[in-house]
């Protein structure tokens, strides 16, 4: 039976394992007024991570911690997990076979191939690609790496929270942490770090963990309402990254343990957030990474004059000419 939280010790061990290969991504702290709200906002610039997203943390931690089959590794992904697995496999000398749905963006598929992966675009959504991946694993004996429902992968993702906690210091403790949520691996890791004990920032209580989704990628929101993971239909601008048809059991149990909040935003708000990041900071991110920004800018999650909101900006595997970037 899996623990309801991944322990801080597991996350610290993951951090030590992956440090030689991964980047310690920077943070940027700005007045909330930059986003039209009160208080202070800190962005964890995880889109600068190897392979373009946080997922390199979990994939690398898994490969370093486990014996890998001579047939290599295999994964199903909307694109980002696959890119992370392919990148880590390249670094560690393993073959990678990746299955992605047809909705995956060309930018993500191109990145997968640039890391030398054998890429199969099958199925219209992630769950269908996963079935093909499971069949391939059964036939070849390749080592399967799940995108989010694995404690070692979640512990690797949790190193994002560890770094964020250390980088924010104790001058102004974090009140809430906003994270995009698809299958739930990243937010489960972050929630485990902040929820396991009093954070290093010195606050007397853990920050509120906020799962940010779009109105058409609602795996956590529907699970929270039902009290357990349920299947949902997915579509929209962020579906290639947040398009899990059901949140993982491990992430759901973790989010339930910390009483994570659920926020939904529109596709238009996501595109507006992408444009805001570009126009104000010259930051280009994929739609999923802009979802927590959209939650703040659209007023779905508001700060107070003394609040400190931390946002994980999780990935940048997108074409530069995104959404409505031509708008002025």
What are the per-10-residue average pLDDT scores of the chain (328 residues)? 81 97 96 94 96 95 97 88 94 95 83 91 87 95 94 97 90 91 96 75 73 97 97 92 91 96 98 96 95 97 90 85 45
Question: CATH assignment of 8-54+150-312, given 3.40.80.10, 3.40.50.300, 3.40.50.1100, 3.40.640.10?
Answer: 3.40.50.1100
pLDDT value of position 244: 86
- pLDDT at residue number 1: 45
Per-residue confidence (pLDDT) for residue 325, from 0 to 100: 42
Q: What is the pLDDT of residue 320?
A: 64
- Residue 180 is predicted with a pLDDT of 97
- pLDDT at residue 79, rounded to an integer: 75
At residue 240, the pLDDT reads 83
Give this prediction's pTM: 0.90
3-state SS track over the chain: CCCCCCCHHHHHHHHHHHCCCCCCCCEEEEEHHHHCCCCEEEEECHHHCHHHECHHHHHHHHHHHCCCCCCCEEEECCCHHHHHHHHHHHHHCCCEEEEECCCCCHHHHHHHHHCCCEEEECCCCHHHHHHHHHHHHHHHCCEECCCCCCHHHHHHHHHHHHHHHHHHCCCCCCCEEEEECCCCHHHHHHHHHHHHCCCCCCCCCCCEEEEEEECCECHHHHHHHHCCCCCCCCCCCCHHHHCCCCCCHHHHHHHHHCCCEEEEECHHHHHHHHHHHHHHHCCCCCHHHHHHHHHHHCCCCCCCCCCEEEEECCECCCCCCCCCCCCC
Q: CA-CA distance, 30 to 281, in Å (whole number)? A: 11
Residues of the chain with CATH 3.40.50.1100: 8-54+150-312, 55-144
CATH 3.40.50.1100 assigned to domain 55-144? The reply is yes
């Amino acid at each position: 039976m899996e623990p309801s939280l991944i322990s801080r010790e597991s996350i610290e061990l993951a951090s030590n394992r992956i440090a030689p290969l991964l980047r310690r991504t920077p943070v940027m702290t700005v007045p909330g007024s930059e986003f039209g709200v009160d208080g202070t906002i800190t962005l964890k610039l995880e889109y600068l991570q190897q392979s373009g997203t946080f997922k390199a943390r979990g994939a690398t931690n898994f490969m370093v911690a486990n014996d890998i089959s001579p047939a290599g590794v295999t994964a199903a992904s909307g694109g980002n997990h696959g890119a992370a697995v392919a990148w880590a496999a390249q670094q560690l000398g393993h073959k990678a076979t990746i299955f992605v749905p047809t909705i995956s963006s060309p930018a993500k598929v191109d990145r997968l191939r640039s890391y030398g992966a054998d890429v199969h675009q099958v199925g219209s959504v992630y769950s269908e690609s996963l079935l093909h991946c499971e069949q391939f694993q059964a036939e070849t004996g390749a080592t399967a790496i799940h995108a989010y429902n694995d404690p070692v992968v979640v512990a690797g993702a949790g190193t994002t929270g560890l770094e964020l906690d250390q980088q924010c210091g104790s001058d102004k403790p974090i009140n809430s942490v906003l994270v995009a949520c698809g299958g739930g691996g990243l937010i489960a890791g972050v929630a485990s770090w902040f929820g396991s004990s009093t954070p290093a920032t010195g606050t007397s209580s853990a920050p509120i963990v906020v799962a940010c989704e779009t109105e058409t990628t609602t795996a956590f929101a529907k699970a929270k309402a039902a009290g357990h993971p349920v299947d949902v239909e997915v579509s929209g601008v962020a579906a290639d990254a947040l398009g899990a048809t059901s949140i993982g059991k491990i992430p759901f149990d973790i989010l339930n343990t910390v009483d994570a909040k659920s926020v939904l935003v529109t596709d238009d708000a996501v595109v507006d957030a992408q444009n805001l990041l570009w126009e104000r900071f010259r930051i280009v991110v994929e739609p999923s990474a802009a979802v927590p920004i959209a939650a703040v800018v659209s007023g779905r999650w508001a700060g107070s004059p003394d609040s400190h909101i931390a946002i994980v900006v999780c990935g940048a595997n997108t074409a530069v000419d995104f959404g409505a970037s031509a708008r002025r």
